[in-house]
């Protein structure tokens, strides 16, 4: 007779890799769904957890954006309210794990050529309030006058 042994953990936490607290915004994309804005709570080589009001089912295939490290495929393994736990399909390499969330998600750049010059824009002054009112009345009144003339002619 064979006996199966179940590992005993002091808590229900079965993570094998140490996790680092992140608390950074990110995007999770589920198959066939639009991007979901989330907050990645913690990250390890084997997985991550995030908070989102959009509930994903256990077993859902997702991709998470790791600023500075690209996107990584994962599977949702735990859902408790707004907390989601995911396991990476392939564990992250140490270099990729170190680069994750180290860069900004906004890329700044100067676009154009080196000889581009700034062309000053002309100063446009607002018309006075009475002039704007008159323009509004004329612009709105002339079509009505034309309609009335065509109707009664």
| pLDDT reported for residue 51 | 92
Rounded CA gap, 31 and 60, in Å? 8
Section 28-45 average pLDDT: 87
DSSP state of 64: E
Mean pLDDT computed over every residue of the chain: 80
In a domain, 109, yes or no: no
CATH at residue 59: 2.40.10.220
Closest CA to 24 of 49, 3, 61: 49
- What percent of the chain is modeled with pLDDT above 90? 27
Q: Tell me: the pLDDT tens digits for 116-146?
A: 566 677 777 888 999 988 888 888 888 888 8
User: Does 28 fall in a domain?
Assistant: yes
The predicted pLDDT at position 2 comes to 41
Structural domain count of the chain: 1
Residue 133 lies in a domain: no
């Amino acid at each position: 007779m064979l006996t199966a042994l179940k590992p005993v953990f002091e808590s229900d936490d079965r993570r094998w890799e140490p996790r680092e607290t992140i608390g950074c915004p990110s995007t999770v994309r589920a198959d066939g769904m639009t991007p979901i804005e989330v907050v990645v709570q913690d990250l390890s080589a084997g997985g991550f957890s995030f908070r989102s009001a959009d509930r994903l089912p256990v077993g859902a295939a997702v991709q998470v954006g790791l600023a500075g490290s690209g996107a990584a495929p994962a599977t949702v393994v735990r859902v408790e309210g707004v907390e989601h736990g995911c396991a990476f399909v392939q564990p992250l390499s140490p270099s990729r794990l170190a680069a994750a969330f180290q860069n900004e998600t906004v890329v700044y750049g100067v676009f154009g050529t080196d000889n581009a010059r700034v062309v000053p824009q002309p100063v446009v002054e607002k018309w006075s309030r009475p002039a704007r009112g008159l323009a509004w009345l004329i612009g709105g009144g002339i079509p009505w006058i034309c309609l009335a003339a065509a109707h009664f002619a």
